[in-house]
Structure 1
């Protein structure tokens, strides 16, 4: 990992593209993949991975969301619009994933001598470099009124288009970002605002859930007034990493990794089912 403003990728990176797997690719599989790759990275300095992923019409809830007082009403609302609903195996709150949202994971060995912020800065610098040709200032700070707010919300002119998170497991770290590339950011935010309205219904809750203001969110296509696609942004990501020194190789999971992935998928699925069934 690096300090802010000095993004470099000086080693070999495996590239796993899960952006075109379609409707049968469940978001729980993505969490199982990243946990598997984290464990691999923790075992070797040489196994860093870039993984791209897209999921169709999915709402990913946080564990805290799953404990809202009227959560079943909120989930029924989402399912009524055709969304698949899952509970993630890490922190964070509700987010929308669909065909216009590109997710990227940078997975590498954890350096305990470097602060946790370095992982966020690595992704932040990469995103700024990818979109530098548009000459728009991208900033990282919490956007109040957005869904899943955090200190590494990425925005242009105060409107959020992305959020960065980290997951650490067995000596590896996955720095993950969702990039709202196309469609309406405010429409996605409206969906999550109504979810919270129905899941809370004015009752007292044990955490500060976001009071969403849809106008605080937008897609990059809206903000840049540009024709973007998942594939052209992904190509630009690969080119940018190579320009920063990365040696990229297309890869699949090894036999050992596939075995660990299958175990992780069972684990995250069972956890998801427990969360949903206890509502």
Structure 2
């Protein structure tokens, strides 16, 4: 059973270091558009270079400057998003999937909304026994972490407006997941995360995270996962609009929304120390 009878517009974007902040400006603009016009979207995106995306709570690291300096030494980019509490990594081997669900009439509960995208992921990987529970020692642990045999491959967050829900998932498809985990772990150590007890930061254990590729799909790439996810959506009886994204993203209405949201993200990132 689907969650909409309106064709879902599919958007694919890769963000460079120069336009990295647009990733979450797009997220917020699409959520606003979904709310206003009650039309659904799927936003596939990634970053062209390794990037640590800080959560709101990461601003409270006692030695945030030292943590950011560590990232720079490791040739990692970074920015501060406006959703979720803790850091995640994006790079060319990580697929970010944002699903925007109109919700004026359904009024989905938090758990019901999470189950929509968790169910789609189970259909995307039918051979996996995907579990949903918090993987404690992963980075950015949450109630709806997706794991296989105890190892996390994806994390899910959500944002809400009055009449829409954005379900945001990062999926580790390929690449060196141990290295990603070590980067986050060392970032927290450099930032003196464990020298205080007001804010909780994970003790990242690389053994509790893996990639889809390392689970036996060595030839897999992000495009293959995108197609499998869209097939899962179609099998739920929903139709896809694969051609409408260019017109949407160039429309005056959308560009105005994006510009407004980008300014908010820029102001938020000005809170970070200058490195």
- The answer to whether TM tops 0.5 is yes
The offset of 1:185, in angstroms, is 1.7
* SS of alignment partner, residue 161 of structure 1: strand
Contact 2:156/2:168, CA 8 A, preserved across alignment = yes
Q: Structure 1: which 5+ runs fail to align?
A: 1-5
Contact 2:122–2:128 (CA<8 Å) still a contact in 1? no
In 1, Cα distance between the equivalents of 2:100 and 2:18? 20
User: Which structure 1 residue ranges, 4+ long, deviate > 6 Å from structure 2?
Assistant: none
Q: Which residue of 2 aligns with 1:38?
A: 31
2:158 pairs with 154, 166, 188, which one? 166
Q: Is residue 106 of structure 2 the alignment partner of residue 105 of structure 1?
A: no
The CA distance in 2 between the partners of 1:81 and 1:24, in whole Å, is: 15
Bigger shift: residues 233-242 or 191-200: 233-242
Greater CA deviation, 138-147 or 27-36? 27-36
The yes-or-no answer on 1:143 pairing with 2:135 is yes
**What is the aligned residue count?**
268
1:95 corresponds in structure 2 to: 88
Other-structure match for 1:116: 110
Q: What's the offset of the Cα at 1:71?
A: 0.9
Q: Is the 8 A contact 2:3 2:101 kept in 1?
A: no
Between the aligned partners of 1:168 and 1:42, the Cα distance in structure 2 is 9
Contact kept? 2:60, 2:199, Cα under 8 Å: no
Per-residue displacement from partner, 1:141-179 (whole Å, max 9, x unpaired)? 011110000111100000001000001135322101000
Q: Distance in 1 between matches of 2:52 and 2:177?
A: 14
2: CA distance between counterparts of 1:25 and 1:16? Answer: 20
Instruction: Report the TM-score, using the length of structure 2 for normalisation.
Output: 0.91
- Secondary structure class of the residue paired with 2:32: helix
**Shift of residue 92, structure 1, vs aligned partner:** 2.3
Q: Which of 52, 55, 58 matches 1:62?
A: 55
Whether the aligned pair in 2 keeps the contact of 1:161 and 1:185 (CA below 8 Å) is no
Aligned match for 2:213, one of 193, 203, 221: 221
Unaligned runs of 5+ in 2: none
Normalised to the residue count of structure 1, the TM-score between the two structures is: 0.90
Which residue of structure 1 lines up, in the alignment, with residue 178 of structure 2? 186
- Partner residue in 2 for 1:17: 12
Q: Is 263-272 or 22-31 further displaced after alignment?
A: 22-31
Say if 1:9 and 1:130 are closer, same or farther in 2 by CA, change over 3 A. Answer: farther
CA RMSD after TM alignment: 1.9
Partner of 1:3: none
